[in-house]
């Protein structure tokens, strides 16, 4: 699906501008997630990090609105009838990127709202590994979207699905532990927010491997490419 969209990005000026804005939006979401992680893990360099996070979130929201306005204008005022399906796809995945910003802000607020430092033990190390995978997924997703690489998208989808399961298992493990309330808060909310960030990255990836009506259904038992199922072809 996204292969055709990116082909339009390269041949249609209006669509190309939307594509550029989407890549900028995804990069801003990555930056916000990294900054939020530094605050959550007590690695922030200065007291102005929350302000920078707020500015990044505003920038993401403005880009989302800009893309939506461009889509509407292209479909209603331009010669965009042939681009309807692809514009619908873009409308869907920009919302997922916007939600990444929301969950990153939530992650940055955990310590402020009473969470304790993440312990240097098994559950803490598990959460550190989850962080590394989720943060690393952004660069890979940007490249996948840029190159419409369905094979790489499927591989990363499987990795992030595994991370989601690890987050659920970690939360259950902490629920049966004897951590104090503040440590429990950090471990549980950290796992929860990294899971939600990863899930919205998964939704973006679904635009590469799924037809339009199956967007966000990355949790199917068996991922199948459009070409493998004629009934799913658009």
Distance of alpha carbon 26 from alpha carbon 215, whole angstroms: 18
Question: What's residue 224's pLDDT?
Answer: 45
Tell me the helix, strand and coil percentages in the chain, rounded to 5: 80, 0, 20
Distance CA 16, CA 8 (A): 7
Average pLDDT over residues 192-201: 97
- pLDDT, tens digit, for every residue of 53-82? 888 888 899 999 888 888 877 777 665 556
SS3 state of residue 178: coil
| Least confident range of 34-38, 92-96, 132-136 | 92-96
Residues 110 and 44: beta-carbon distance below 8 Å:
no
Q: Strand (E) positions, 73-220?
A: none
Q: Please provide the average confidence, as pLDDT, over all residues in the chain.
A: 83
| Choice between 61 and 85, residue whose per-residue pLDDT is larger | 61
CA nearest to 110, candidates 45, 3, 197, 38: 38
Look at residues 36, 30, 33, 28 and name the one whose alpha carbon lies nearest to residue 66.
28
DSSP tag of 211? -
Domain boundaries, given as residue ranges, for the chain: 2-232
User: By the 8 A CB rule, do 32 and 52 touch?
Assistant: no
Query: Which of 37-41, 60-64, 86-90 is the most confident on average?
Result: 37-41
CA distance 217 to 169: 21
pLDDT in tens, 1-27: 555 555 555 556 777 788 788 889 999
Query: How many residues make up the chain in this entry?
Result: 234
| CATH entry, 2-232, from 1.20.1050.10, 3.40.50.12280, 3.40.50.300, 1.20.58.220 | 1.20.58.220
Q: Which residues contact 189 (CB under 8 A, 6 or more apart)?
A: 106, 107, 110, 115
pLDDT band at 118 (very low <50, low <70, confident <90, very high): very high
Tokens coding 205: 């990836």
Query: Is the predicted pLDDT of residue 129 greater than 50, yes or no?
Result: yes
Pick 234 or 144 by higher pLDDT.
Answer: 144
**Residue 4 half-sphere exposure, CB side, CA atoms within 13 Å?**
17
CA distances to 54, 61, 98, 160, 176 from 105, rounded to whole Å, are 8, 13, 11, 20, 28
Determine the pLDDT at residue 3: 56
């Amino acid at each position: 699906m996204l292969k055709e969209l990116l082909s339009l990005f390269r041949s249609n000026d209006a669509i190309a501008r939307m594509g550029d804005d989407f890549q900028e939006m995804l990069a801003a979401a990555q930056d916000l997630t990294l900054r939020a992680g530094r605050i959550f893990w007590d690695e922030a360099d200065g007291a102005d990090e929350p302000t920078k996070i707020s500015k990044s979130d505003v920038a993401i929201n403005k880009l989302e609105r800009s893309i939506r306005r461009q889509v509407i204008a292209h479909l209603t005022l331009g010669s965009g009838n042939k681009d309807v399906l692809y514009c619908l796809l873009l409308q869907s995945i920009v919302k997922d990127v916007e939600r990444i910003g929301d969950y990153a802000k939530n992650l940055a607020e955990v310590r402020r709202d009473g969470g304790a430092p993440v312990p240097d033990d098994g559950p803490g190390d598990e959460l550190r590994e989850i962080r590394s995978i989720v943060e690393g997924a952004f660069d890979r997703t940007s490249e996948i979207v840029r190159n419409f690489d369905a094979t790489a998208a499927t591989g990363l989808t499987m990795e992030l699905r595994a991370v989601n399961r690890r987050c659920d298992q970690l939360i259950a493990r902490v629920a049966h532990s004897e951590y104090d309330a503040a440590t429990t808060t950090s471990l549980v909310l950290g796992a929860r927010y990294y899971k939600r960030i990863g899930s919205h990255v998964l939704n973006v990836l679904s635009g590469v491997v799924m037809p339009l009506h199956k967007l966000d259904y990355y949790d199917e038992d068996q991922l199948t490419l459009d070409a493998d199922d004629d009934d799913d072809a658009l």
